[in-house]
Amino acid sequence: MSLQSRFLLFLGALLLGGWPAMLMAYAPMQPLRPYGPPPGSSFLLVASRKLADPRFHETVVLVTRNRHSGPIGIVINRPEDITLDKILPAYAGAGKFKLFAGGPVNPEHISYLFRGEGGGAGTLKISEHVYLSYNMPLLAELLSGARAHTGLRVVHGLAAWAPGQLENEIARGDWYVLPVNDEAIFDRPATEIWPELFRKAKPVPD
C-alpha cells in the first residue's frame, strides 16, 4: 500500500483524536534522576555520535509529556520526499510544505508543530508560542492561511519510551538535552538543525 493510501485510510482515526489516545497508552513517567531531562514538560534531544539506533542517527527530537503519559516525541529534522498536497489534496496551501518523518511508532498518524499566538482544542503547549497538535481542522486553517503562524512542521509517526528508558539512554550518552528552541525548529533548514544543536550541546573536552 502506498504512503498516500495509508494516510488517507487513517485520516478518520486522526479526526477522532489520535494524540490523546496515544498519550494515555503509555505508563506514567518515572521520577527523573539527576542526569535526566530538565524539569520542564518539553525539551529537545540531540543525538550523540554514540547513538547506535540508525532510526535516530543525527536526529533532533522534540520530547513532551503530561501527567497521563511517559515521554513521547517527534523527530523535527527528517523531511520526506513528499509534499503535503499528495496526502492531503483537499487542503489549500498544502503543496508548500513537506511531510516530515516523526518517528517509528504509529507511522500512519499525522501530528504537527506550529508557532503562533494561542493553541486551541486538541493542542499541547510546548513553549510560549509553540504547540503540538493532531487537530485536522486547525491544520487546514494553518495551511490555507486562515490562521496566522510563523512556522509549521507536519510529521507522521512519533517516538516513545518505556518508563525509565529515556533516562537510561541519556545516562549512557546516547542523547544530549537542550531547552526547546523554536528558532532552530522553524527558522533553520532541516539539514542544519542537528549540526547546529550538536555543536551547542556537545560537552567541551577537558
Delimit the domains of the chain by residue range: 3-23+38-201
Give residue-wise pLDDT tens across range 102-118: 999 999 999 999 999 88
Residue 176 phi, psi dihedral angles, 5° rounding: -105, 150
User: pLDDT for 123-155, tens place per residue?
Assistant: 889 998 999 999 999 999 999 989 999 999 999
pLDDT of residue 121: 77
Block residue for cell numbers 486553517: 141
Q: What is the pLDDT of residue 70?
A: 77
Residue 1 reports pLDDT greater than 90: no
Q: Which CATH number fits domain 3-23+38-201: 3.50.50.60, 3.90.950.10, 3.40.710.10, 3.40.1740.10?
A: 3.40.1740.10
CA pair distance 139, 130, nearest whole angstrom: 14
User: Of 156, 161, 167, nearest to 72 (Cα)?
Assistant: 161
Q: What percent of the chain is predicted at pLDDT more than 90?
A: 63
What average pLDDT does the chain have?
Answer: 81
* Residue 61: burial class (beta carbons within 10 Å; 0-12, 13-18, 19+): buried
Q: Which residue has the higher pLDDT, 166 or 28?
A: 166
pTM of the model: 0.80
Average pLDDT over residues 179-197: 95
pLDDT digits (tens, 9 = 90+) for 35-51: 344 445 899 999 999 99
pLDDT single digits (tens) 49-85: 999 999 999 999 999 976 666 789 999 999 999 999 9
